[in-house]
Amino acid sequence: MAADLTLRHTTVPTPFGPFTVVVSPDGVVATTGGDPRELVDELARRLGVVSRVAALRAATRDVEAYFGGRRARMRTPADLRLVGTPFARAVLEVTQTIPYGELWTYGDVAARAGRSGAARAAGSALARSPIELFVPCHRVVPSGPGLGSYGGSGDRRATLLRFEGAI
């Protein structure tokens, strides 16, 4: 990791309230619906010090266009270098390919990430994902009934999936 890495963040109003996007020169590093200061401080400690105005503007446009109904796929890449294991990174990379308005199961994602039968591990990787919307974890659901939990709020997942027309 480069010592001169710069992070930037901005907060975009959404139907859920403020949504903060943190970017590195390589893309979106994290998102949060809460107070961004603690997250940004932690990321700055882990990645270095911070600024990429172009990526920040692009991520802001993505969020605004998504909630404005004008963007089905985020254009700003996710920077997954902070994701722990190679399998977790593979899970998030696969999840980025799930088309707008579609639902995949944890088993589907695990299989496409190279580990059939690792649905629980895929679920754990998705639960720890620091990047919402740019890695559309809300599109991954259990194979059984219901939508499962999501970021501490099943309602949030259901609202996003209704917005996308998936349910």
Helices (H), 35-153: 36-47, 53-67, 86-95, 106-112, 119-127
Longest CA–CA span in the chain (Å) reads: 47
> Where along the chain do its domains lie?
8-67, 86-164
HSE (side-chain half, CA atoms, 13 Å) at 99? 4
**What's the rounded Cα separation, in Å, for the pair 45 and 28?**
16
Q: What angle do CA 11, 44, 72 make, to 5 degrees?
A: 40
What is the assigned CATH class of domain 86-164?
mainly alpha
Could you list the active site residues? Answer: 137
pLDDT (tens digit per residue) in 120-137 = 999 999 999 989 899 999
pLDDT (tens digit per residue) in 70-120 = 988 899 989 898 888 999 999 999 999 999 999 999 999 999 999 999 999
pLDDT band at 46 (very low <50, low <70, confident <90, very high): confident
Contact call for residues 91 and 104 (beta carbons, < 8 A) = no
**What's the rounded Cα separation, in Å, for the pair 4 and 47?**
9
